[in-house]
Amino acid sequence: MRRVVIAGGAGFFGQRVVELLRAVGVPSITAGRSSAELGLDVEDRASLRAALRAGDVVVDAAGPFQSRTAALVEVACEVGADIIDLNESLVHARRVDALADRVRESGISVRSTCSAVSTVAAALVRRSGTLRPVRVSALVAPASRETAHVGTLRALLASVGAPIEVWRDGRFAPAVGWRASRAFALPRRPAYLVASALPLTLPRVWPSLSVVDCWTDTSTPLANGVLALAARARVLRAIAERALPIGVALARLLGTRRGAFAVEVEDERGRVARLALTAARRSYLIAAVPAALAARALAEGRSSERGIVPVDRHVDPDELLAYLASLGIELERA
């Protein structure tokens, strides 16, 4: 079995990947700048060259990705290590995508955005049975009482009032995070427009897509309204940034333990399939399971696809949804 290294393995989602791999009998090594078994700095090329070996499977959970470079992927090409990342940032996804020729020539496998917003969304589109989707809208509704910490809230704030990009009329189009809102029917949630990698990843798989966007509900009373106001006033956004520790405390106190990830998939005739993964507890595993399954398949030699792997082929969709069900994460459809 190949060596599996978890960059950012001491972080919230890195720990979840470690736990999931251990549960299926795949040992892993946590890596990071501190509190790790392997010293590694994902932004320091010398550190990466010293830590990584040819044949390693590296799971990159070292966020925040929007401020990261592509150093890890570049060194992986030199060393001959495969990369799986939990990135959900369009900015970072583009950095990785720009290395497509180098990745292909090196012969490594890169599964970028191997998390809920892209890999699970692709699996749900497949499960919908829609062959030529024209619209995919995703909803992230985290279990805020379980997942709230400074890192996750900082990632959320990155979209508030900021220029983002969505997919409209088959091309990238500008928008502003948290300026638009809408309601989802399954699950029944209010939601606000946020940045994601979906406008890059899904049209690569389904060229028929005309509209792709991502929405979120904070799952915390009053928080949606506060952030919607902050998106329209810089002073309020600055206050929200300074009040991050207070926001974490309120989310843990008032937020919900039930979380969900959902998609709406519309076909050429206007028919909409709605699919949602929901759980009363530990819905955050939706974000970690794809990377754990991909790492297991690579470590055990059951996956050999090279280059930058499309999101619908990161893991087998049926295996992914079956494994989520075994963890108590239910699939609903309307």
Any residues with CB less than 8 A from the CB of 6 and at least 6 apart, and which? 14, 17, 18, 28, 29, 30, 31, 58, 59, 61
Same domain, 46 and 186: no
- The count of other CB atoms within 10 Å of the CB of residue 150 is 11
Q: Could you say which of 279, 297, 316 is where a domain stops?
A: 279
Please tell me the distance from the alpha carbon of residue 72 to that of residue 83, in angstroms, as a whole number. Answer: 8
The model's confidence at residue 72, banded by pLDDT at 50, 70 and 90, is very high
Same domain, 126 and 255: yes
- The count of other CB atoms within 10 Å of the CB of residue 297 is 21
Sign of CA dihedral 44, 48, 32, 260: positive
Same domain, 263 and 290: no
pLDDT average, residue stretch 260-284: 97
Q: Which two tokens stand for residue 156?
A: 């959320």
221-239 CB burial, b ≥16 within 10 A, e <16:
eebbebbbebbeeeebbee
What DSSP line would sit under 14-69, residue for residue?
HHHHHHHHHHTT---EEEESSSSSEE--TT-HHHHHHH--TT-EEEE----GGG--
The model's confidence at residue 155, banded by pLDDT at 50, 70 and 90, is confident
Same domain, 315 and 199: no
Give the pLDDT confidence score for residue 200 in this predicted structure: 98
Same domain, 182 and 314: no
Distance, first Cα to last Cα, the chain: 41
pLDDT average, residue stretch 151-176: 92
The answer, yes or no, to whether residue 151 has pLDDT greater than 80, is no
Give the pLDDT confidence score for residue 247 in this predicted structure: 84
Give the pLDDT confidence score for residue 266 in this predicted structure: 98
pLDDT average, residue stretch 149-164: 85
The answer, yes or no, to whether residue 156 has pLDDT greater than 90, is no
Average pLDDT, the chain: 95
pLDDT average, residue stretch 32-38: 83
The model's confidence at residue 175, banded by pLDDT at 50, 70 and 90, is very high
Task: Return the residue matching tokens 């329209």.
Answer: 232
Number of residues written out for the chain: 334
Instruction: Count CA atoms within 13 Å of residue 101 on its CB side.
Output: 1
Same domain, 261 and 135: yes
pTM: 0.95
Contact assessment for residue 128 and residue 265, using Cβ atoms and an 8 Å cutoff: yes
Q: Which two tokens stand for residue 263?
A: 């998609």
The answer, yes or no, to whether residue 250 has pLDDT greater than 90, is no
Helix (H), strand (E), coil (C) string for 160-174? CCCEEEEEECCEEEE
Sign of CA dihedral 19, 21, 25, 29: negative
Tell which phi-psi region holds residue 316, choosing left (phi > 0), alpha (psi between -120 and 50) or beta.
beta
Q: Could you say which of 279, 296, 317 is where a domain stops?
A: 279
Segment among 14-23, 155-164, 243-252, 313-322 with least mean pLDDT: 243-252
Please tell me the distance from the alpha carbon of residue 200 to that of residue 296, in angstroms, as a whole number. Answer: 26
> Tell me, what CATH number does 145's domain have?
3.30.360.10
The angle that helices 121-128 and 198-205 make with each other, rounded to 10 degrees, is 40
Same domain, 234 and 312: no
Same domain, 128 and 182: yes
Strand ranges inside the chain, DSSP E: 4-7, 29-32, 38-39, 57-60, 82-85, 109-111, 135-141, 163-168, 171-176, 181-185, 188-194, 211-216, 259-266, 272-279, 307-308, 330-333
The answer, yes or no, to whether residue 63 has pLDDT greater than 90, is no
Any residues with CB less than 8 A from the CB of 20 and at least 6 apart, and which? 285, 288, 289, 292
pLDDT average, residue stretch 83-110: 97
Same domain, 86 and 127: no
> Tell me, what CATH number does 299's domain have?
3.40.50.720
Q: Which two tokens stand for residue 95?
A: 């950095």
Same domain, 76 and 156: no
Greater pLDDT, 152 or 227: 227
The answer, yes or no, to whether residue 251 has pLDDT greater than 90, is no
Q: Which of 319, 237, 293, 313 is nearest to 16 (CA)?
A: 293
Domain that holds residue 310: 4-115+285-333
Q: Could you say which of 279, 299, 323 is where a domain stops?
A: 279
Same domain, 126 and 265: yes
Give the pLDDT confidence score for residue 78 in this predicted structure: 98
The answer, yes or no, to whether residue 54 has pLDDT greater than 80, is yes
What is the number of domains present in the chain? 2
- 207-237 pLDDT per residue, tens: 999 999 999 999 998 889 999 999 999 888 8
The model's confidence at residue 254, banded by pLDDT at 50, 70 and 90, is confident
Same domain, 185 and 274: yes
